[in-house]
Amino acid sequence: AQTVTQSQPEMSVQEAETVTLSCTYDTSENNYYLFWYKQPPSRQMILVIRQEAYKQQNATENRFSVNFQKAAKSFSLKISDSQLGDTAMYFCASETNSGGGADGLTFGKGTHLIIQP
């Protein structure tokens, strides 16, 4: 079984600041993927960034980057130059690949990020 833990229920930063959201996970699988999803008030789940466990290089998407520490089972999200539109719930998620296709995602409880003007 997989577990994903997000220990920060809510965070608040000023616009243009950098913020890091924490996530730890536990899995017995060797082949898995990690994701950060954003859920704004509309409740539409939006993929922010993904990381394949076999890749050592940290994934980067524009202002979003991750710090993937496989041995520590840590997967934090860094948002640089934060913008008002970044205000949302952020969910960390893991997915195993059973070989027969995609498996369902296991989500953390989420972090409510508030960007203050």
**Residues at the site binding other proteins, with contacts judged by CB under 8 A:** 33, 35, 37, 42-47, 50, 91, 95, 97, 101-110
Query: CB of 86: closest distance to other proteins in angstroms?
Result: 18
Query: CB of 16: closest distance to other proteins in angstroms?
Result: 28
Angstrom distances, CA of residue 80 to CA of 53, 60, 77, 83: 23, 11, 10, 9
Backbone conformation region of residue 95, classed left if phi is above 0, alpha if psi is from -120 to 50, else beta: beta
Query: CB of 66: closest distance to other proteins in angstroms?
Result: 15
Identify the residue whose tokens are 């995609």: 102
Residue number, 8 or 103, with CB nearest to other proteins: 103
